[in-house]
Amino acid sequence: MCDLKHPVILILVLLLLFSSGLAYGKVYIDIDSPSFQKFPIAITDFKPLRPVADKGDLPAWFSDTLSRDLTITGYFNVLDRKAFLEDPKQAGITAEGIRFEDWTVIGAEYLVKGGFQTDERELVTEFRLFDVVRGELVVGKRYTGKPEDRNRMVMQFVNEILLALTGEAGLFETRIAFVKKGDASADIYTINFDGSDLRRITNYNVLTLSPRWSPDGRFLAFTSYRDGNADIYLRDLGNGSTRKIVFYPGLNLPGSWSRDSARLLVTLSRDGNQEIYDMNVGNSLLQRLTRDFAIDVSPVRSPDERRIAFVSNRSGSPQIYIMDADGGNVRRLTYEGNYNTSPAWSPKGKRIAYEGSVHGRFQIFTIDAEGGSPQQLTFEGGDHESPSWSPDGRYLACSVRGYGRSRIEIMNEGGQNARVLHEGNDGCQSPFWSPRLR
């Protein structure tokens, strides 16, 4: 979506020579298994495809950027270049020019090589991923674009590597929306999965909160006090227009969308108390789902849309509850601790992430959607809040607050490999992961 604003045509040429890439990768390594070991991968500096007098910074730029992006995924152990045995001057970038034993002996299982050719207007790059144990090419791509597209070329090839080795594309075409607070205001920003390209989405000089991306990637629903009351607005990210869609007296908060982006769960207090409703976005018709004098808030749909998880304090403290999509069959999910909020249902369907209070600090947990076996994912470094799953269910974003700083972090679904996406003095909160945007 955001990339549509740079309508640079990236011509993708699958190098037919290496069609073996399709045959490869049918047997994926289960990266979700607890015994999963990171892929040991070597990345050499890129070579000019034609002899040039001055190579510039590009050879190292490509290998450094690939290393960084592969490391970000949490699935790769990028080998130190100092350990490489290969003579870069002698070696080529195709299978014929590689002595695979030079790589297996230093512990590599995979190798990325590439080349580039550039003038001021055009950049042509070639990327190749080799399985050095088998001694064959896994996937190769050539990209043609403008010199400023080089970052996207790297991201796209990292997606190819992930697709080939794990069976699922990476997340480099996703963004994370979050709230950044000012003095007496708060606004919504979005940022790339790799922490690049921070963009301000709202600038209303009032409180603007709770971003909720539609599954088609087109809309961002949020709550703003633009007209004094907490009303729900819809930003069309295609044309930048914004319209107020829910504005009953009292609170109007967006919850999760339906998969077809046609319905939005909302929390409204128009009937005197916070209740959850399912709203048809097209005609604004509401179906009331909860009836309780306590707080009912933060509804999220299960991936199959048959159930809804939400927060209620009907038992006296905020806990996660589950009900059927029509509001029936309500049952309590969390029992440990006296403060469990912010449910986020994994796209894989089995687990629900949430934040819970442990010894006065807030940490991220997951729990089986059928009930039981809560697992704590974060332990230190401040209060961890508002978990949001990546579209593939392999990562969680959350906000971290402590020691006068606040940040948005990303970690693997098991809680490992946390990295900072954005940090600031101002409050960074309520991250929400976009769907894949292309």
Partner 1 sequence: MRRNWVWVGLIALVLCLSVTFLTGCAKKATLKEEAVVTQEQKAVSQAPAVADDAAAREKALQEQALTDQAAREAAERAAREEADRVARETADKAKKEAGAMAAAILKELQIADINFDFDKYNLKPEAQEILKKGAPAYLKYRDYKLVVEGHCDEQGTSEYNLALGEKRATEAAKYLADLGIEKARIKTISYGKEMPLDKGHDEAAWAKNRRAHFVIFPPVQ
Q: Summarize as ranges the residues that interact with partner 1 (CB under 8 A).
A: 179, 181, 184, 186, 207, 209-210, 228-230, 250-251, 253, 267, 269, 272, 274, 295, 297-298, 311, 313, 317-318, 338-339, 341-342, 355, 357, 362, 383, 385-386, 401, 404, 429-430
> How do strand 296-301 and strand 307-312 relate by DSSP bridges?
antiparallel
The answer to whether 333 touches 316, Cβ cutoff 8 Å, is: no
CB of 195 to partner 1, least distance (A): 22
Smaller CB separation from partner 1, 261 or 317: 317
* Best CA proximity match to 189, nearest among 176, 175, 200, 174: 200
CB of 225 to partner 1, least distance (A): 8
Smaller CB separation from partner 1, 1 or 276: 276
Smaller CB separation from partner 1, 298 or 434: 298
Separation CA 188–CA 349 (nearest Å): 28
Separation CA 344–CA 393 (nearest Å): 11
Smaller CB separation from partner 1, 155 or 234: 234
CB of 328 to partner 1, least distance (A): 22
Tokens coding 388: 């949001």
User: At which residue do the structure tokens 């089995």 appear?
Assistant: 350
CB of 402 to partner 1, least distance (A): 8
Smaller CB separation from partner 1, 98 or 209: 209
Chain-centroid distance, C-alpha 245: 27
Separation CA 116–CA 208 (nearest Å): 45
Separation CA 434–CA 197 (nearest Å): 15
CB of 430 to partner 1, least distance (A): 5
Smaller CB separation from partner 1, 132 or 333: 333
CB of 405 to partner 1, least distance (A): 11
Separation CA 196–CA 422 (nearest Å): 9
